[in-house]
């Protein structure tokens, strides 16, 4: 697997194993005392090293929003590093963050186009390319900038890596009321609300070429270039179980019922993440 190389990379790698340990000093405490909730003020590299004795191999989820290296100067930090300096800054911090993760943990890194592709290859080296989960597209604005010199910038990236892809499991998002409202019950099926799925698909299926006769006597064949995605035998079993919908008048192309009670109790996350206000 190819790795990035840059000036002083060996020094950056050495830093990741030689960061001096600093004991955290408590300055204030609010609410119920707990070591699980802390705000640490100071150099983040030293802070990460200070967390090692307490949290190494225990952190389930990490989100970081590192400098994007936009070549701009801000009030609280300079975001104008030479490219190799930026890589050298990121390398030891990512190594320490990896070591903080538990085997079921994951890291989520916000970045934009300035360094996103270099960061991807850098993370491949540190976390392992096989542990890459996804590049989430975070749509940060919805209005096209007509003042853009070339193409309007509409999104940032969130790179997601697992500590161990075989141990990591993603959660499902809650089902929305809008999604559930798409289930109805036109025929008062005792199994409750349902929606329908098409039974034809473009993928070739050796058992997917046969004629279907509707209750009204109408004959259906797969549209040109498609196949029924269930065998004739399974179709008849579904029909006998009342899981085929022919339309209100019994003459429509058949569709398979999908009951809300049998639906996955959650929504699989998408790589496209809209701005939430």
pLDDT tens digits, residue range 11-67?
Answer: 999 998 999 888 888 888 887 776 678 888 889 999 999 999 989 999 999 999 999
Same domain, 136 and 251: no
Report the percentage of the chain scoring pLDDT > 90. 69
Same domain, 104 and 219: no
Backbone angles phi, psi at 66, to 5 degrees: -70, 165
Mean pLDDT of 242-264: 92
Domain with 190 in it? 177-262
Domain closes at, from 162, 187, 214: 162
Same domain, 132 and 212: no
Mean pLDDT of 109-127: 96
- Number of neighbouring beta carbons within 10 Å of residue 223: 10
187 falls in which pLDDT band (50, 70, 90)? very high
Q: What is the pLDDT of residue 189?
A: 95
Domain closes at, from 162, 195, 219: 162
Same domain, 181 and 147: no
* Interatomic CA distance for residues 143 and 154, integer angstroms: 8
pTM: 0.78
214 falls in which pLDDT band (50, 70, 90)? very high
Question: Does 179 score more than 90 pLDDT?
Answer: no
Domain closes at, from 101, 129, 162: 162
- Number of neighbouring beta carbons within 10 Å of residue 246: 18
Question: Does 277 score more than 70 pLDDT?
Answer: no
Same domain, 130 and 196: no
Same domain, 21 and 101: yes
The answer to whether residue 157 sits within a structural domain is yes
The answer to whether residue 216 sits within a structural domain is yes
Work out how many domains the chain is built from and give that number. Answer: 2
Mean pLDDT of 73-82: 78
Q: What is the pLDDT of residue 30?
A: 80
């Amino acid at each position: 697997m190819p790795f990035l190389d840059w000036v002083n990379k060996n020094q950056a790698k050495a830093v990741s194993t030689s960061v001096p340990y600093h004991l955290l000093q408590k300055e204030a405490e609010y609410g119920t005392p707990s070591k699980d909730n802390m705000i640490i003020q100071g150099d983040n590299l030293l802070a990460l090293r200070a967390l090692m004795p307490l949290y190494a191999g225990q952190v389930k989820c990490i989100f970081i929003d590192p400098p994007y290296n936009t070549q701009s100067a801000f009030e609280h930090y300079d975001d104008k590093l030479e490219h190799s300096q930026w890589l050298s800054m990121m390398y030891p911090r990512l190594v320490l963050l990896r070591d903080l993760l538990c085997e079921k943990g994951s890291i989520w890194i916000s970045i934009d186009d300035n360094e996103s592709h270099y960061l991807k290859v850098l993370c491949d080296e540190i976390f392992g390319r096989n542990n890459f989960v996804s590049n989430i597209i975070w749509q940060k604005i919805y209005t096209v900038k007509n003042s853009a010199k070339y193409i309007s910038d509409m999104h940032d990236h969130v790179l997601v890596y697992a500590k161990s892809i075989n141990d990591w499991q993603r959660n499902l998002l809650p089902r929305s009321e809008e999604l559930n409202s798409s289930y109805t019950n036109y025929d008062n099926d005792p199994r409750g609300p349902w929606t329908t799925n098409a039974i034809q698909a473009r993928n070739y299926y050796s058992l997917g070429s046969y004629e279907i006769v509707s209750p009204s006597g109408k004959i259906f064949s797969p549209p040109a270039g498609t196949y029924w995605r269930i065998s004739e035998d399974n179709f008849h079993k579904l029909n006998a179980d009342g899981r085929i919908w022919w339309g209100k008048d019994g003459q429509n192309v058949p569709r398979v019922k999908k009951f809300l009670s049998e639906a996955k109790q959650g929504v699989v996350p998408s790589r496209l993440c809209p701005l939430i206000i």
